[in-house]
Amino acid sequence: MAKHATPLLDQLETGPWPSFVSDIKREAESRAKNEKGVEFQVPADACEDILGVLELSFKHGRTHWKHGGIVGVFGYGGGVIGRYCDQPEMFPGVAHFHTLRVNQPGGKFYNTEYLRQLCDLWEFRGSGITNMHGSTGDIIFLGTSTPQLEEIFFELTHTHNQDLGGSGSNLRTPSDCIGQARCEYACYDTQALCFAMTNEYQDELHRPAFPYKFKFKFDGCPNCCVASIARADMSFIGTWRDEIRIDQQAVKAYIGQELKPNAGAHAGRDWGPFDIEKEVIGLCPTKCMWMEGGKLMIDNKECVRCMHCINVMPRALRIGNDRGLSILVGAKAPILDGAQMGSLLVPFMKAEDPYDEIKEIIEKIWDWWMEEGKNRERLGELIKRQGFQKLLEVTELEPDPRMVKEPRSNPYIFWKEEEVEGGWQRDVNEFRKYHQR
């Protein structure tokens, strides 16, 4: 018999898609039975109370969670989000229900031994409910009490060799795409770079010293599977600067309908026979491809590496050999001053261990942002407020037409005094010798 009646939530237990309600009920049941004799450190009926409080929200159309107050583990300013229920008498099992962010492994690969260790820990010291994964990428442990925080952290670090992720005004847990681990499009080792930067900047990740949050995301190619260009203050997107490698035999096989276009992604509908002119050459954004004597030709100098032709014919076309990454800066969601997409700052940089060039750019940007950024001002907003020129100045990068879509259409140029011959100090009396008042 369930602790709380949940007639509204129960309606989410049908239909084909996995039901989170059924899953929480399963966990509630498992805790009630407690076949393994776990000495639960948060109330055994926490999952019943989660369902109860959620049912109440479904009824009221409003949340019943309060913002957290300051909770955390000693010496860290992030990784724990405080959370309290606003109906603690009705739902004592979730009266204190804090979140821990656990820094996920690169590519979100796991072995089951490790996953089970995390499950055991979270069943013992928390609600048993997780997010796999949070929006930024962390493993999210959803719901524990204040006294458990240090205990969980102690076990994570001592037994599981595992640290917390970021929250608050600090470096948020960096995340990466699957990259070279299982993708032929990856132009650099996203997992290696993500891991290196996460470890290099542990202090920034755990101890908030920034004006606001700061995100790194690592995409292996311009398909941008981790959406870095939309949501990372610094996005690292793989690219190349030489020629797309062509296998003309495979091109013929695509034309001859022997290979499925787009790696079979459109197989569920009859789109007619594959037409290379219409589907590849005609859709190329710079029209830099053509057929000549039965061969596919590419004017690589004009290619902007949008990935379309490679996506359509992965067995015929491959990324170039001279690979690296582009760095874009300033992406963010709408709060506070409207959404921003990342803007191109570094067109090309090699991504090779120990990544000194990359670190240099990161640190120059941080120095500027920490000095000039206002409270809760994201990097993108600072760039807008002080100008792209200022960004170039602090990063000591040379202006490059690749950084803009088009040059400015107003002539309101803020010339600097040192740029103007003779400077700005002039003698008005000398001027008046030739120009009457």
Partner 1 sequence: MAFVSSGYDPKQPMKDRITDIGPRNYEEFYPPVIKENKGKWLYHEILEPGVLVHVSETGDEVYTVRVGGARLMSVSHIREICEIADKYCGGYVRWTTRNNVEFMVDSKDKVEPLKKDLLSRKQPGGCFKFPIGGTGAGVTNIIHTQGWIHCHTPATDASGPVKATMDVLFEEFTHMRLPAQLRVSLACCLNMCGAVHCSDIAILGYHRKPPMLDHEYLDKMCEIPLAIAACPTAAIKPSKVTLPDGKEVKSVAVNQERCMFCGNCYTMCPAMPLADDVGDGIVLMAGGKVSNRITSPKFSKVVVAFLPNEAPRWPQTTSTIKKIVDAYAKGANKYERLGEWAERIGWERFFERCDLPFTHHLIDDFRDPAYYTWRQTTKFKF
Using CB under 8 A, pick the residue from 4, 108, 241, 364 that binds partner 1.
108
178 binds partner 1 (CB under 8 A): yes
Report in angstroms how near the CB of residue 44 gets to partner 1 at its nearest.
8
Report in angstroms how near the CB of residue 128 gets to partner 1 at its nearest.
5
404 binds partner 1 (CB under 8 A): no
Kindly state the DSSP code that residue 292 receives in the 8-state scheme.
E
| Backbone φ/ψ region at 278: left (φ over 0), alpha (ψ -120 to 50), beta | alpha
Residue environment code for 207-218, b if the CB has 16+ CB neighbours within 10 A, otherwise e: bbebbbbbbbbb
Q: Where does this chain touch partner 1 (CB under 8 A) — which range of 118-126, 295-303, 387-395, 417-425?
A: 118-126
| Cβ contact 300:288 at 8 Å | yes
Using CB under 8 A, pick the residue from 16, 273, 293, 354 that binds partner 1.
16
Report in angstroms how near the CB of residue 81 gets to partner 1 at its nearest.
9
| Cβ contact 316:251 at 8 Å | yes
Tell me whether residue 83 or residue 345 sits nearer to partner 1 (CB atom). 83
Tell me whether residue 230 or residue 394 sits nearer to partner 1 (CB atom). 230
180 binds partner 1 (CB under 8 A): yes
Tell me whether residue 115 or residue 370 sits nearer to partner 1 (CB atom). 115
Using CB under 8 A, pick the residue from 62, 301, 435, 437 that binds partner 1.
62
| Cβ contact 298:246 at 8 Å | yes
436 binds partner 1 (CB under 8 A): no
Using CB under 8 A, pick the residue from 3, 32, 58, 298 that binds partner 1.
58
Q: Where does this chain touch partner 1 (CB under 8 A) — which range of 25-33, 357-365, 392-400, 428-436?
A: 25-33
Q: What is the CA angle 203-233-377, rounded to 5?
A: 85
Tokens of 301: 């100098």
Q: Tokens 């006294």 identify what position? A: 147
Tell me whether residue 11 or residue 248 sits nearer to partner 1 (CB atom). 11
Amino acid letter, 20: F
Using CB under 8 A, pick the residue from 90, 227, 253, 403 that binds partner 1.
227
Tell me, residue by residue from 346 to 365, as one string, x for binding to partner 1 by CB under 8 A and - for no binding.
--------------------
Q: Where does this chain touch partner 1 (CB under 8 A) — which range of 122-130, 385-393, 408-416, 422-430?
A: 122-130
Using CB under 8 A, pick the residue from 104, 170, 343, 395 that binds partner 1.
104
375 binds partner 1 (CB under 8 A): yes
DSSP-derived 3-state class of residue 437: coil
Q: Where does this chain touch partner 1 (CB under 8 A) — which range of 131-139, 355-363, 365-373, 419-427?
A: 131-139
128 binds partner 1 (CB under 8 A): yes
Tell me whether residue 120 or residue 360 sits nearer to partner 1 (CB atom). 120
290 binds partner 1 (CB under 8 A): no
> CA 275 to CA 124: how far, in whole Å?
58
| Cβ contact 336:326 at 8 Å | no
Q: What number of chain residues touch partner 1 (CB under 8 A)?
A: 150
| Cβ contact 92:145 at 8 Å | no
Peptide bond connecting 354 to the previous residue in cis, omega within 30 degrees of 0:
yes
Report in angstroms how near the CB of residue 182 gets to partner 1 at its nearest.
5
Report in angstroms how near the CB of residue 422 gets to partner 1 at its nearest.
36
Provide the H-helix boundaries in 302-417. 308-312, 356-372, 379-386, 388-395
Give helix 356-372 / helix 379-386 axis angle, nearest 10°.
Answer: 70
For residue 238, the cross-strand partners are 325
Tell me whether residue 13 or residue 393 sits nearer to partner 1 (CB atom). 13
320 binds partner 1 (CB under 8 A): no
**DSSP sequence for 184-203:** TT-SS-HHHHHHHHHHHTHH
402 binds partner 1 (CB under 8 A): no
CA distances from 167 to 73, 177, 270, 337, 364 (A): 12, 21, 47, 21, 22
| Cβ contact 329:246 at 8 Å | no
